[in-house]
């Protein structure tokens, strides 16, 4: 393909020329020569921002990366060069930072409004603070919020008669550069294993496979030029199988008409992959990468002939967009000051090493904070079951800040109490001890034998080492995530707590707040305070 140049190129002409040349070069060789002029429509996407406006760190400790403000800079650059575009987010938008929490998520929806997003897909962490906060975020959003495989108030979001009548939508259609793009949004179906009914309220998630099949059949009448699937579901590492939360292999088998998938939830950078032959892209988490897909159309036939996905790394070479930062600068400064607040001193280093029947020092801290806090609020418990969350290092002795407590408990889980017999608690502990992520028992002692699937809980003892009778009734505290089933890992726990005899109660006390209170009230916390 020749591009004759008879005079010096202006910057605009050069960009137009180089963009066409790059597009042609990127088109698969088998397609070249068979088509006339090509057009391009771009899809820009973010996912799992988790309330991060400013740069943050990776799970591996790489600092000064990500944040929506950096993504905004790259997206603005892309928009300037490619006027025919869509911009979407794939969910878990606002939970994860004090900034997101103190603004009830509105700092993120304001940013999406400012950037001109076309839609965002509801993720599971949109429900951490209860469904009412999701409804508030939807009301604040100037763009559609998608969750096609869901019910609201018993009404199916994907049903044709409910389109536009409910706060959530199953899809949107937009004409971009003369091409009709249909974008379907699905959320993860595993909600009931993460959240108690009190938090989900009038929301329920359905199996996405029949929903998507029905939605695509319905969209055929619209004759879209491209059919894009956006999901708060993803591919898990080291497997090509679905699980309760991620159904992409089943979705692509049932719906091969999908032209492109952009995804989230599993926190992976997957610039260009395929599922059952369908192009797939995921842009990491916290804005550490931002994604782009170029859809290539043959102009005369209007056929989509290629989808070219990629992601862009948001490191220190990308300057945060000042407009996005300035939108929430007062809240940012207030959050930074609060996170730096000293709440007390830890006298002894606390370990993170645990094993069935042997809680770590950090777990003992959480257990002591729960027991003391619940007792002060008139809900005394005999023991606490809780685990560690994404901790790689022990907690050192010294002054502690609010930010340190976020490092111990990064999620806004609530506290749940329930009454169980010793025998029932033994069965629950046996289930949780057999999992790769161990939860521990604080306030009582568990005697165990064996490992893995063969582990047995032989007895429970009080703090004086005395065995407890099988039918002794105990009041036990859990966090709300585990009480809902821990993402389907703890079905026995979930079922047992729903029995009438358990008298389960959800308390609107956040577990991290109880940890902060424990320090502020004591000023100095030593190992001897933890039982």
Query: Would you say residue 267 lies in a domain?
Result: yes
Query: Would you say residue 199 lies in a domain?
Result: yes
pLDDT for 40 equals: 98
Same domain for 314 and 353? no
Among the three residues 335, 352, 383, which one is the final residue of a domain in this structure?
335
Measure the N-to-C terminal CA separation of the chain; round to a whole number of Å: 76
Same domain for 302 and 367? no
pLDDT at 13 over 80: no
What average pLDDT does the segment 70-90 reach?
98
Query: Would you say residue 451 lies in a domain?
Result: yes
pLDDT in tens, 249-297: 999 999 999 999 999 999 999 999 999 999 999 999 999 999 999 999 9
pTM of the entire predicted model: 0.91
pLDDT for 30 equals: 38
Query: Would you say residue 18 lies in a domain?
Result: no
pLDDT at 389 over 60: yes
Same domain for 291 and 384? no
pLDDT at 1 over 70: no
Q: Which long-range contacts (CB under 8 A, 24 or more apart) does 493-501 make?
A: 493/428, 493/431, 493/432, 494/193, 496/418, 496/420, 496/424, 496/427, 496/428, 497/416, 497/418, 501/419
Query: Would you say residue 26 lies in a domain?
Result: no
pLDDT for 34 equals: 62
Contact 233, 246 (CB under 8 A): yes
Query: Would you say residue 509 lies in a domain?
Result: yes
What average pLDDT does the segment 129-139 reach?
97
Same domain for 327 and 441? no
What average pLDDT does the segment 405-431 reach?
97
pLDDT at 346 over 70: yes
What average pLDDT does the segment 494-516 reach?
97
Which residues are bridge partners to 39 per DSSP? 297
pLDDT at 11 over 90: no
Q: What is the CATH number of the domain that holds 458?
A: 3.90.780.10
pLDDT at 21 over 50: no
Q: Which two tokens stand for residue 249?
A: 């292999």
What average pLDDT does the segment 205-234 reach?
97
Same domain for 322 and 401? no
Cite the beta strand spans of 232-324 per DSSP E: 260-263, 269-275, 278-283, 289-298, 303-313
Task: Give the mean pLDDT of the chain.
Answer: 93
C-alpha–C-alpha distance, residues 160 and 177, integer Å: 27
pLDDT at 6 over 80: no
Cβ contacts of 478 within 8 Å, gap of 6 or more? 384, 385, 386, 415, 416, 417, 418, 493, 497
Q: What is the CATH number of the domain that holds 94?
A: 3.60.21.10
pLDDT grade for 24, boundaries at 50, 70 and 90: very low
pLDDT at 443 over 60: yes
Among the three residues 302, 317, 335, which one is the final residue of a domain in this structure?
335
Cite the beta strand spans of 104-214 per DSSP E: 119-121, 145-146, 150-152, 155-156, 171-176, 179-186, 203-205
How many helices and strands (H and E) does the chain possess?
16, 25
pLDDT at 3 over 70: no
Same domain for 275 and 217? yes
Query: Would you say residue 515 lies in a domain?
Result: yes
Same domain for 393 and 317? no
pLDDT in tens, 227-259: 999 999 999 888 889 999 999 999 999 999 999
Same domain for 66 and 101? yes
Q: Domain range for residue 498?
A: 342-530
- Provide the number of structural domains found in the chain: 2
Same domain for 165 and 146? yes
Among the three residues 335, 353, 383, which one is the final residue of a domain in this structure?
335
Could you tell me where the DSSP H helices lie in 106-196?
A: 106-115, 131-140
Same domain for 317 and 425? no
Query: Would you say residue 10 lies in a domain?
Result: no
Least confident of 24-28, 135-139, 158-162, 375-379: 24-28
Crossing angle of the two packed helices 106-115 and 131-140, in degrees rounded to 10: 30
Same domain for 486 and 447? yes
Same domain for 330 and 346? no
pLDDT at 87 over 50: yes
Cβ contacts of 322 within 8 Å, gap of 6 or more? none
Report percent pLDDT > 90 for the chain. 89
């Amino acid at each position: 393909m020749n591009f004759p140049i008879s005079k010096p190129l202006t910057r605009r002409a050069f960009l137009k020329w180089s963009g066409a040349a790059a597009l042609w070069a990127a088109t698969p060789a088998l397609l070249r020569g068979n088509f006339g002029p090509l057009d391009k429509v771009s899809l820009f996407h973010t996912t799992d921002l988790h309330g991060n406006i400013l740069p943050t760190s990776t799970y591996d400790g790489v600092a000064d990366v990500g944040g929506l403000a950096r993504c905004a800079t790259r997206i603005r650059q892309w928009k300037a060069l490619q006027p025919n575009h869509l911009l979407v987010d794939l969910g878990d938008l606002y939970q994860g930072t004090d900034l997101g929490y103190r603004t009830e998520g509105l700092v993120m929806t304001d940013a999406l409004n400012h950037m001109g997003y076309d839609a965002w897909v509801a993720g599971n962490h949109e429900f951490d603070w209860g469904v009412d906060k999701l409804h508030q975020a939807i009301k604040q959003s100037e763009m559609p919020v998608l969750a096609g495989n869901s019910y609201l108030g018993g009404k199916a979001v994907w049903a044709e008669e409910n389109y536009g009548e409910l706060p959530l939508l199953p899809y949107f259609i937009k004409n971009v550069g003369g091409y009709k793009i249909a974008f379907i949004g699905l959320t993860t179906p595993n909600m009931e294993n993460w959240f108690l009914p009190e938090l989900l309220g009038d929301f329920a998630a359905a199996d996405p496979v029949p929903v998507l099949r029905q939605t695509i059949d319905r969209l055929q009448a619209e004759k879209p030029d491209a059919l894009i699937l956006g999901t708060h579901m993803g591919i898990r590492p080291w497997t090509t199988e679905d699980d309760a939360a991620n159904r992409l292999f089943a979705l692509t088998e049932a719906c091969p008409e999908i032209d492109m998938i952009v995804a989230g939830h599993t926190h992976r950078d997957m610039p260009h992959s395929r599922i059952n032959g369908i192009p797939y892209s995921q842009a990491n988490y916290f804005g550490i990468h931002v994604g782009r897909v170029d859809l290539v159309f043959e102009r005369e036939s209007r056929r989509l002939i290629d989808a070219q996905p990629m992601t862009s790394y948001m490191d220190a070479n990308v300057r945060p967009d000042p407009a996005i930062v300035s939108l929430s600068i007062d809240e940012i400064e207030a959050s930074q000051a609060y996170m730096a607040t000293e709440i007390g001193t830890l006298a002894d280093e606390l370990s993170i090493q645990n094993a069935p029947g042997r809680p770590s020092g950090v777990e003992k801290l959480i257990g002591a904070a729960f027991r003391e806090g619940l007792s002060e609020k008139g809900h005394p418990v005999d023991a606490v079951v809780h685990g560690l969350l994404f901790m790689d290092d022990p907690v050192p002795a010294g002054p502690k800040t609010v930010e340190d407590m976020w490092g111990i408990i990064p999620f806004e889980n609530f506290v749940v109490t329930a009454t169980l017999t010793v025998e029932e608690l033994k069965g629950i502990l046996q289930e949780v001890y057999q999992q790769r992520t161990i939860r521990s028992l604080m306030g009582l002692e568990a005697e165990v034998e064996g490992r893995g699937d063969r582990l047995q809980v032989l007895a429970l003892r009080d703090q004086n080492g005395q065995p407890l009778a099988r039918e002794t009734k105990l009041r036990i505290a859990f966090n709300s995530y585990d009480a809902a089933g821990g993402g389907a890992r703890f079905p026995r726990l979930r079922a047992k707590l729903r029995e009438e005899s358990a008298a389960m109660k959800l308390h609107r006390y956040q577990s991290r707040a109880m940890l902060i209170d424990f320090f502020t009230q004591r000023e100095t916390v030593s190992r001897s305070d933890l039982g």
